[in-house]
Amino acid sequence: MYWNLFLTFFRIGLVSFGGGYAMLPLIEYEVKSNNWLTTQQLTDAIAIAGMSPGPIATNSAVFVGYNVGGILGAIISAIAISFPSLIIVVLIALFVSKVKSNHSIISYVFYGLRPVITALIVYAAINFAIQNNIIQGISLIDVDWISIVFVFIALAMLLFTKLSPVIIIFLSGLAGIIVYY
Amino acid sequence: MEKRRKVKLLWGLFFTFFKISPVSFGGGYAMIPLLEDAVTKKNKWVKREDIADVLVVAQSVPGSIAVNTATFIGYRLVGIPGAIAATLGIITPTFIIIVALASLFLNFQHNPIVQTAFIGIRSAVIALIIFAALKIGKTAIFNKTTSIIACVALVIFLFVSIHPIFMLLVGGIVGILLNMKRLLDRKKTINNDKVENIQ
């Protein structure tokens, strides 16, 4: 099981381009095929990862690892997801003395990679909305309108106020208590 | 390097990044100014004009920009032990915080107040994900080709059961192929210009 955790997060660490949110579908994919968490539990994990300082992908990995294998599981997941970047950064530092950002092959790779990452994040948003029973696919039947309104309020606050995501998560938690409790 | 100085520098790396780490809410970008300050002013580890290069590397490789920056600086100063010390320094505090929060959550997740709070929080998480998509979309999608790539990828993600890693690889390869064509075109036009000039 620990070996499985290590391999899983090592693999994710290897391709974690474009900030942590793009990695959420990957983490979900692995977490589900290993039966580590349900998607709802994973959403809660991501909420906690977003509330805490540090990279969201690493935080989610640590949460999953802790849930599956306690402290040792958490340590293994943290190391596994950080290890590939460490190796790659060291290799680059070793071979590249002066970095040329323009016209290198890297910028070509990112030309195609970034739109895919964007699609992956949009997919993550749709997928999480479905898995949390907020929408049921493309149709408008059984839409949880209260949650949809919450999503748009939170999004508007992110876009138009300078409030940090941490505060928005806390406010939405408060709103949840007021509306549902 | 003298051994005692080296050990002192390793501790310095560890604690410098250890102190920055807990304020890095919302991914790495918020802490870049703090990082810059710590490595160029407080400790003269990197020259001001070199920090831009370090950030380019940190952004272009997988992983969090903050962690990668720490690793890179650690490596430049003390080699592999430095890279490890800096990386451990920056991930340890957030690791402790997330483990503490996770164990709290696992203990209280069946409490009705916590449960209702998390129903609200789920909406905020989805908003955060959409926000992340908008942010990266602004730099990623800037012409017809990139919009088509994004739309095709989204349709595939939604309707085909495929491992996301595979799609990321395809995206990178498509990026290279598209630009190769562009490069060849450019070469051709240059040659054509030459021919016309001669004529």
**A82 and B91: CB-CB below 8 Å?**
yes
* Per-residue pLDDT, B182: 67
One domain, residues B114 and B169: no
Residue B147 has pLDDT above 50, yes or no: yes
One domain, residues B11 and B95: yes
CB A124 within 8 A of CB B125: no
Residue B175 has pLDDT above 70, yes or no: yes
One domain, residues A179 and A130: no
| Size of the A and B interface in Cβ pairs below 8 Å | 334
* Per-residue pLDDT, A152: 95
Looking at B53, B84, B108, the residue that finishes a domain is B108
More confident call, B9 vs A40: B9
One domain, residues B14 and B84: yes
Interface test with B, best of A52, A107, A130, A147 (most B CBs within 10 A): A52
One domain, residues A75 and A97: yes
One domain, residues B20 and B50: yes
* Per-residue pLDDT, A19: 67
One domain, residues A22 and A74: yes
CB B21 within 8 A of CB B89: yes
Interface test with B, best of A114, A127, A158 (most B CBs within 10 A): A114
Residue B88 has pLDDT above 90, yes or no: yes
Into how many domains does chain A fold? 2
Confidence of residue B50 (pLDDT cuts 50, 70, 90): confident
Confidence of residue A97 (pLDDT cuts 50, 70, 90): low
One domain, residues B103 and B117: no
Residue B28 has pLDDT above 60, yes or no: no
Residue A9 has pLDDT above 60, yes or no: yes
Distance from CA of A38 to the nearest CA of B (A): 14
Residue A18 has pLDDT above 80, yes or no: no
One domain, residues A74 and A154: no
Residue A101 has pLDDT above 50, yes or no: no
One domain, residues A27 and A45: yes
Q: What range does the domain containing A164 cover?
A: 144-181
What's the DSSP call for residue A53?
Answer: B
Distance from CA of A140 to the nearest CA of B (A): 17
* Per-residue pLDDT, B25: 61
Confidence of residue B199 (pLDDT cuts 50, 70, 90): very low
What percent of chain B has a predicted confidence (pLDDT) above 90?
41
DSSP states of B81-129 = HHHHHHHHHHHHHHHHHHHHHHHHHHHHTTSHHHHHHHHHHHHHHHHHH
Is the complex ipTM higher than 0.95? no
Of A141, A80, A96, which is closest to residue B63 (Cα–Cα)?
A80
Mean pLDDT for chain B overall = 85
* Partners of residue A132 in chain B, C-beta under 8 Å: 122, 126
To the nearest 10°, report the CA torsion of B68, B69, B72, B77.
Answer: -140
* Per-residue pLDDT, A32: 87
Q: What range does the domain containing B172 cover?
A: 142-199
Residue A76 has pLDDT above 90, yes or no: yes
**A113 and B175: CB-CB below 8 Å?**
yes
One domain, residues B4 and B34: yes
One domain, residues B168 and B187: yes
Into how many domains does chain B fold? 3
One domain, residues A123 and A150: no
One domain, residues B135 and B146: no
Residue B53 has pLDDT above 90, yes or no: no
What percent of chain A has a predicted confidence (pLDDT) above 70?
93
Give the separation between CA B69 and CA B63, rounded to whole angstroms: 10
One domain, residues A48 and A113: yes
